[in-house]
Amino acid sequence: MRVVLTWRDKVEHCIYDLAFKPDGTQLILAAGNRLLVYDTSDGSLLQPLKGHKDTVYCVAYAKDGKRFASGSADKNVIIWTSKLEGILKYTHNDSIQCVSYNPVTHQLASGSSSDFALWSPEQKSISKHKSSSKITCCSWTNDGQYLALGMFNGIISIRNKNGDEKVKIERPGGSLSPVWSICWNPSRCSYREEHNDILAVADWGQKLSFYQLSGKQIGKDRSLNFNACCISYFTKGEYILLGGSDKQVSLFTKDGVRLGTVGEQNSWVWTCRAKPDSNYVAVGCQDGTISFYQLIFSTVHGLYKNRYAYRDSMTDVIVQHLITEQKVRIKCKELVKKIAICKNRLAIQLPEKILIYELYSDDSSDMHYRVKEKMVKKFECNLLVVCADHIVLCQEKRLQCLSFSGVKEREWQMESLIRYIKVIGGPPGREGLLVGLKNGQILKIFVDNPFAIVLLKQATAVRCLDMSASRKKLAVVDENDTCLVYDIHTKELLFQEPNANSVAWNTQCEDMLCFSGGGYLNIKASTFPVHQQKLQGFVVGYNGSKIFCLHAFAMSAVEVPQSTPMYQYLDRKMFKEAYQIACLGVTDTDWRELAMEALEGLEFETAKKAFTRVQDLRYLELINSIEERKKRGETNNDLFLADVFSYQGKFHEAAKLYKKSGHENLALDMYTDLRMFEYAKDFLGSGDPKETRMLITKQADWARNINEPKNAVEMYISAGEYVKAIEISGDHGWVDTLIDIARKLDRAEREPLLMCARYFKKLDNPGYAAETYLKIGDLKSLVQLHVETQHWDEAFALGEKHPEFKEDIYMPYAQWLAENDRFEESQKAFHKAGRQKEAVRVLEQLTDNAVEESRFNDAAYYYWMLSMQCLDIAQDAAQKDAMLSKFHYFQHLAEMYHGYHTIHRYTEEPFSSHRPETLFNISRFLLHNLSKDTPVGISKVITLFTLAKQSKALGAYKLARDAYEKLRGLRIPARFQKSIELGSITIRAKPFHDNEELVPLCYRCSTNNPLLNNLGNVCINCRQPFVFSASSYEVLHLVEFYLEKGITDEEAVSLIDLEVPRHKRENRCQEITSNNSQTLRLDETVGCMGDDPFTAKLSFEQGGSEFVPVVVSRSVLRSMSRRDVLIKRWPPPLRWQYFRSLLPEASITMCPSCFQMFHSEDYELLVLQHTRCPYCRRPIDGPSL
Q: In angstroms, how far is the first alpha carbon of the chain from the final one? A: 132
Amino acid 718 reads S
CB 738 within 8 A of CB 726: yes
pLDDT tens sequence across 1087-1138: 444 467 777 777 644 445 678 888 888 888 888 888 888 999 988 888 899 9
CB 438 within 8 A of CB 463: no
Q: How many CA atoms lie within 13 Å of 397's alpha carbon, on the beta-carbon side?
A: 8
Nearest CA-CA partner of 1071 in 1123, 1121, 1013: 1123
SS3 per residue for 323-373: CCCCEEEEECCCCCCEEEEECCEEEEEECCEEEEEEECCCCCCCCCEEEEE
Element (H, E) at 149: strand 146-151
CA–CA separation, 540 vs 515, rounded Å?
9
Write the CB contacts of 473 (distance below 8 Å, at least 6 apart in sequence): 467, 485, 486, 487, 488, 494, 505, 510
The pLDDT score that the predictor gives to residue 809 is: 54
Strand partners, 445: 433
CB 166 within 8 A of CB 123: no
Q: Interior CA angle at 893 toward 891 and 894, to 5°?
A: 65
User: Within 706-805, where are the H helices?
Assistant: 709-719, 722-732, 735-744, 750-762, 766-776, 779-788, 792-801
Nearest CA-CA partner of 433 in 383, 505, 479, 485: 383
CA–CA separation, 210 vs 233, rounded Å?
13
Instruction: Tell me the torsion sign for CA atoms 815, 820, 825, 827.
Output: positive
At residue 1012, the 3 state secondary structure works out as: coil
User: Within 910-973, where are the H helices?
Assistant: 916-929, 940-954, 957-968
At residue 55, the 3 state secondary structure works out as: coil
Phi, psi of 133 (to 5 degrees): -150, 170
CB 782 within 8 A of CB 795: no
Rg of the Cα atoms in the chain = 67
Write the CB contacts of 994 (distance below 8 Å, at least 6 apart in sequence): 951, 955, 956, 957, 958, 959, 1011
Q: What is the DSSP string of 816-867?
A: HHHHTT-HHHHHHHHHHTT-HHHHHHHHHHHHHHHHHTT-HHHHHHHHHHHH
What residues in the chain have per-residue pLDDT under 50? 190-194, 686, 1062-1070, 1080-1090, 1100-1103, 1182-1185
CA–CA separation, 908 vs 921, rounded Å?
19
At residue 117, the 3 state secondary structure works out as: strand
What size, in residues, is the chain? Answer: 1185
The pLDDT score that the predictor gives to residue 1102 is: 47
CA–CA separation, 929 vs 1017, rounded Å?
8
Neighbours of 519 (CB within 10 A): 11
Write the CB contacts of 247 (distance below 8 Å, at least 6 apart in sequence): 264, 265, 266, 267, 268, 269, 285
At residue 871, the 3 state secondary structure works out as: helix
Phi, psi of 1030 (to 5 degrees): -75, 0
The pLDDT score that the predictor gives to residue 1184 is: 39
